[in-house]
Amino acid sequence: MLRLRAAAWEDGYGVVEDGGALFLVRPPYRKANKVAISESDLEAAVSKHGFTATDQTFASWAALIEHLRRRFLDERKGQVPDSDRIKKLVERAPTDVVASYLDRIEVELLPRRQWRAANGVLAHLLRNPAVRQDTNLLDRVSALLERTELGGDVDAPPLAEDFPLVEELYGRVALELGDRIRREGQVLPMGSAA
């Protein structure tokens, strides 16, 4: 029998007693996120860190995790997450969620040229253990970071398609210079070739 001794509902954390031992569990609920703690750690969690003392029993880990997950979602309903919370979610997301983040970056952010937003998510994904352990995800994050640092897809259509009057007003050289700056990632053209 598992006993939930304390919880921080809004963060999804729980202190669980299993066979006389205490464990802190947190989202995403995996074995790696189950840490042995002491009775004094439990006391500190309640007295200093905002955990709520509780005394609930569960027949299985699955039932306990489902209860924590449900309460976590109930607490979060209607709340707009702050940037720190979003960063934590990105840095702790499991592999399948990371893959969906990367899909959304490619489909939503990059076509809209939201380089800064994409770069911010990707930078936090590099701190995610799931990304560091999966070479395919790491390669994908790295490739997307390179694209955001260059100002987007290096195979993007020429600037003439987005700015048809530039050539008419300033000449072809202005468009060629703009395309070169975008490809090379330079903010200001430098050197004798400019």
pLDDT value at residue 167: 74
| 176, amino acid identity | E
Interval 18-30 mean pLDDT? 87
> What global pTM score does this model have?
0.45
Average pLDDT of the residues of the chain = 81
Calpha distance 194→177 (Å, rounded): 8
More confident residue, 172 or 161: 172
* pLDDT score, position 82: 65
Whether 93 has a pLDDT exceeding 50, the answer reads yes
Give the pLDDT band (50/70/90) at residue 40: very high
Cα atoms found within 13 Å of the Cα of residue 119, Cβ hemisphere only: 11
Q: How do strand 21-25 and strand 13-18 relate by DSSP bridges?
A: antiparallel
